[in-house]
Amino acid sequence: MPFPSPDFLRTRLSEPVTAITAYDYPTARICDEAGVQMILVGDSLGMVVAGNEDTTSVTLDHMVYHTEMVRRGVKNAVIVSDLPYATYDDPEMTLESSRRLIAAGADAVKLEGGLRQIPKLVRLREEGIAVCAHIGMLPQRVREEGGYRKKGKSDHEANTLITAAESLEQAGAFAIVLESVVADVATEITGKLSIPTIGIGSGTKCGGQIRVIHDVIGAYPWFVPPFATVYGDVAGVVRKSIESFIRDIHN
């Protein structure tokens, strides 16, 4: 079967793009049935599912396993799977890793980083694999950078982001995630591109928004990012249900 082309994927994403992470069958199915346009099998699963400090311990095997679960639950949404840490060090490694994610059911892969990722993106496009880029705060580099911080505060950083976004579009990315980018810079990037920018913690003027599902449904109460709007209380519902179960058994 031919891979979905970036142009075809873009016909399935209309602005404002609604995107959310999912890591398993029932969650992906609910998100899809609710009408979200894009589901990211994010390596954030290393934190919100596996309970690690950051995403760097996620492996390609983990991503393949979760992509297969998500694929079984999704009929309409575009499925994008993250290339995890250290699985895309050079173009051939990137291609090999991406092929595994596509075989597991992803429509496209996502990689973190700006200009240094261009040769890898080009290699994937040569083989017909659709790519979502990701710039701004890069969770896979949090250890090198010594923490999470907003990107684009200085002129130099803002210009680097703008140049990266333009080059990634030119190299064939079908969308770009902007994570924790100063809102004005995210707006400027969005205005310069013809592919959608999908923001998280980057203001309201991107071509769409992506969120980690646990933040949206209130399933990870121990840490909620400052930009997140919590729309539900899944943790509360689970807790109360389990307490009711325990009470029933005791009575």
Please identify every residue annotated as catalytic.
179
Q: In the 8-state DSSP scheme, what is residue 202?
A: S
169 binds ligand KIV (CB under 6 A): no
| 48-53 CB contacts, 8 Å cutoff, 24+ apart | 48/212, 48/213, 48/214, 48/219, 48/220, 49/23
Q: Give the number of other CB atoms < 10 A from CB of residue 169.
A: 19
The distance of closest approach from Cβ of residue 38 to ligand KIV in the complex, given in angstroms and rounded to an integer, is: 10
Binding-site member from 32, 43, 107, 215 for ligand KIV (CB under 6 A): 43
Distance separating alpha carbons of residues 71 and 89, to the nearest angstrom? 26
Nearest to ligand KIV of 92, 124 (CB atom): 124
User: Nearest residue by C-beta to ligand KIV?
Assistant: 42
81 touches ligand KIV by CB under 6 A: no
- DSSP three-state, residue 183: helix
Site string for ligand KIV, 222-251 (x = CB under 6 A): ------------------------------
Q: How far is the CB of 191 from ligand KIV (least distance, A)?
A: 21
Least distance in angstroms from the C-beta of 46 to ligand KIV = 8
Write the binding mask 3 to 32 for ligand KIV: x where contact by CB under 6 A, - elsewhere: ------------------x-----------
Choose the binding region for ligand KIV from 1-9, 38-46, 85-93, 157-165 (rule: CB under 6 A): 38-46
Distances (CA, A) of 136 to 3, 26, 182, 183, 225: 28, 31, 9, 11, 16
Residue of 46, 137, 128, 37 lying closest to 87 (CA atoms) = 46
Binding status of residue 107 toward ligand KIV by CB under 6 A: no
Which of these, 194, 135, 196, lies nearest to 162 by C-alpha position? Answer: 135
Nearer to ligand KIV, 144 or 246 (CB): 144
- E strand or H helix at 9: helix 6-11
For residue 14, the cross-strand partners are none
User: What six digits make up the tokens of 149?
Assistant: 């911080």
Q: Is the dihedral of CA 32, 219, 175, 198 positive or negative?
A: positive
130 DSSP β-pair partners: 108
d(CA 218, CA 71): 24
Locate tokens 């998280």: which residue?
Answer: 200
Stretch that binds ligand KIV, among 35-43, 87-95, 166-174, 189-197 (CB under 6 A): 35-43
Counting contacts by CB under 6 A, is residue 185 touching ligand KIV? no
Cβ 244 to ligand KIV shortest distance, Å: 32
Among 60, 131, 181, 212, interactor with ligand KIV by CB under 6 A? 212
C-beta closer to ligand KIV: residue 158 or 177: 177
Establish if 215 lies at the interface with ligand KIV (CB under 6 A).
no
- Binding region for ligand KIV (CB under 6 A): 21, 40, 42-44, 82, 177, 179, 200, 210, 212
